[in-house]
Amino acid sequence: MSHSLGTCVVPMNAGVTMKRNGNGKTATARHLEIVEPRQLYFGEKWQYAPSPEKKDHVKLKKHYDLFIDGKFVPGKSGKTFPTINPATEETLAEIAYAEAADVDRAVTAARRAYDKVWRKMPGSERAKYVFRIARMIQEKARELAVLESMDGGKPIRESRDCDIPLAAAHFFYYAGWADKLDYAFPGRKARSIGVAGQVIPWNFPLLMAAWKIAPALASGNTVVLKPAETTPLTALHLAEIIQEADLPPGVVNIVTGDGTAGAAIVNHPNVDKIAFTGSTEVGKMIQRAIAGTNKRLTLELGGKSANIIFEDAPMDQAIEGIIDGIYFNQGHVCCAGSRLFVQESIAEIVERKLWDRMQNLRVGDPLDKNTDVGAINSKMQLNKICELVDAGVREGATKHQIECALPKKGYWFRPTFFTKVAQSHRIAQEEIFGPVLSVLTFRTPEEALERANNSPYGLAAGVWTDKGSKIFKIANRMRAGVIWANTYNQFDPSSPFGGYKESGFGREGGVHGLASYVELY
């Protein structure tokens, strides 16, 4: 192939402002001069008008109580805490603050419901309730999506197209298992465990509630669930759905609060199983706390997942996979593809394409239907991201951050990636949980494997190559719970999810997820 390189002049419409590469200088040019490396220009020739999702249909209350024994009740101490919109810093509602006494009430109600009603109910009857919840989530999908975006800062496009439909899908999926437990584990019988104490994170509030509640209910357990402190609203609206669905009182209890309530659940003697999704640090504390008790435990913890791009990958789709892997939900994803391993032979072109692609990430109002990256969930999280990014710069990695306007109020972080990252840098080791990617290079498949596995975590991985045999080779030797081939961040209720090493143990989703909520004999 012969290519005429060298300077080439491209006719442009007059008056279009061209941004030159890197140096930040802009020039109004009749002609686009080619500077190396060439860069595309994504400007304002044709802009999207604001397209905000309406929120007047959301029945947002000023005050929310705890959901215990089928009723909404205030916390015993009467204390409340505010939940705020991270995109505006406005208080959305006051939430009842649960302490040990409230958790005790909730566990007692769950125990009673388990012994008197739920464990004895035929699976086919339990299924009806779970199906009903699934359908009601679908009916209220719009309201829940808006609420999720307001409370957590995630783009409405994601809450509308991903969080809420998947939450409903989980209830549908596990509802189907409720009367088929005898066939779920061939040759063995499954029996429910009892009261499940569940503590969930703030990154996918309703979806995580669905992941936890749906399999527990389907297999005959009752539940005490604590949503995250910064994002309690959709779980409380789920409580309203559960009440409307006429679930027997006490089968699902939802207590809102902070680590105090979480610890009370973990330490309560009447709880038979703990399911936790959150940080590795808290996961370790929980495991220590319940050592020597009869409680079962599943932990879904942090990650620093590797996204491996080989030179024979479908490149433009791989770029999308990188974007989806790290900028989806502002990077607040435990399985985020936060370590990018690129084969050295294509590293330059991948970085260039990634950079050009990132110019089209629209950062801002989570309720705008065209927003790609929303608000960082909390001030605390934003501080943590900033700290690690600063560490990356200090340790000598090269920072690439897009220049986009940000709203004046709220918590924001511009999508960023680092190159010249060494395995020993903090940004290659620690979970950032934000829109920040570390790019590393490798030369051979063996090296990719070795370096990708060189992490205390092992939640997920992505492999990008057109060669099937290479996919299997890598997948078989990656120490990660989920491995995506030529895609990333795909979720389905029938597919198990969970980690190796410090990313936790136990699986959620699929028949594997059911196994965590039953005793087999």
Partner 1 sequence: MMHVTVDQVGVEERARKLSTRSIKTSSKREGIKLIISMIDLTTLEGKDSPGKIRAMCQKAIRPLPGNADVPSVAAVCVYPNLIREAKRCLAGTNIKIASVATGFPSGQYPLDIKLADVRDAVTMGADEIDMVIDRGAFLAGKYRKVADEIAKVKEACGPAHLKVILETAELETFDNIRKASWIAMESGADFIKTSTGKLKEAATLPITLVMLEALRDYWYETGKVIGMKPAGGIRTSKDALRYLVLVKETVGDTWLTPDLFRFGASTLTNDLLMQLAKEMTGNYQAAEYFTID
User: Residues in the site for partner 1, rule: CB under 8 A?
Assistant: 1, 3-8, 10-13, 16, 32, 34, 37-38, 40-49, 51, 157, 161, 312-317, 320-321, 349, 352, 356, 359-360, 369-370, 466, 486-487
C-alpha–C-alpha distance, residues 300 and 276, integer Å: 6
Report the nearest approach of partner 1 to the CB of residue 418 (Å).
23
Q: Which long-range contacts (CB under 8 A, 24 or more apart) does 288-292 make?
A: 289/263, 290/266
Measured from the CB atom, is 224 or 471 closer to partner 1? 471
C-alpha–C-alpha distance, residues 208 and 70, integer Å: 21
Measured from the CB atom, is 195 or 313 closer to partner 1? 313
Report the nearest approach of partner 1 to the CB of residue 43 (Å).
4
**CB count, 10 Å around CB of 401?**
15
**CB count, 10 Å around CB of 512?**
16
Distances (CA, A) of 125 to 179, 182, 221, 239, 511: 8, 15, 14, 20, 20
Helices (H), 178-314: 181-184, 205-218, 233-244, 259-267, 280-290
Measured from the CB atom, is 13 or 424 closer to partner 1? 13
Residue given tokens 């808290």 in the structure block: 282
Measured from the CB atom, is 225 or 350 closer to partner 1? 350
Measured from the CB atom, is 32 or 117 closer to partner 1? 32
C-alpha–C-alpha distance, residues 112 and 106, integer Å: 10
334 assigned to active site: yes
**CA quadruple 331, 505, 478, 488: dihedral sign:** negative
**CB count, 10 Å around CB of 8?**
10
Measured from the CB atom, is 232 or 462 closer to partner 1? 462
- Asked if 516 and 215 count as a contact pair (C-beta separation under 8 A), the reply is yes
Measured from the CB atom, is 4 or 424 closer to partner 1? 4
Annotated catalytic residue within 148, 158, 229, 334: 334
Report the nearest approach of partner 1 to the CB of residue 352 (Å).
7
Report the nearest approach of partner 1 to the CB of residue 372 (Å).
10
From the list 246, 184, 458, the residue with the least C-alpha distance to 339 is 458
162 assigned to active site: no
Report the nearest approach of partner 1 to the CB of residue 32 (Å).
6
Residue given tokens 């030797």 in the structure block: 477
Q: What is the phi/psi pair of residue 327, to 5°?
A: -100, -5
From the list 252, 162, 256, the residue with the least C-alpha distance to 200 is 256
Measured from the CB atom, is 320 or 395 closer to partner 1? 320
Q: Which residues contact 67 (CB under 8 A, 6 or more apart)?
A: 73, 236, 239, 242, 243, 252, 253, 254, 255
Q: Is 519 helix (H, G, I), strand (E, B) or coil?
A: strand
How distant is the alpha carbon of residue 419 from its chain centre? 25
Burial 132-165 (b: 16+ CB within 10 A, else e): bbbbbbbebbbbbbbbbbbbbbbbbbbbbebbbb
Report the nearest approach of partner 1 to the CB of residue 489 (Å).
11
Report the nearest approach of partner 1 to the CB of residue 458 (Å).
25
Measured from the CB atom, is 3 or 62 closer to partner 1? 3
Annotated catalytic residue within 53, 148, 158, 300: 300
Report the nearest approach of partner 1 to the CB of residue 370 (Å).
6
Report the nearest approach of partner 1 to the CB of residue 10 (Å).
5
Residues identified as active-site: 300, 334
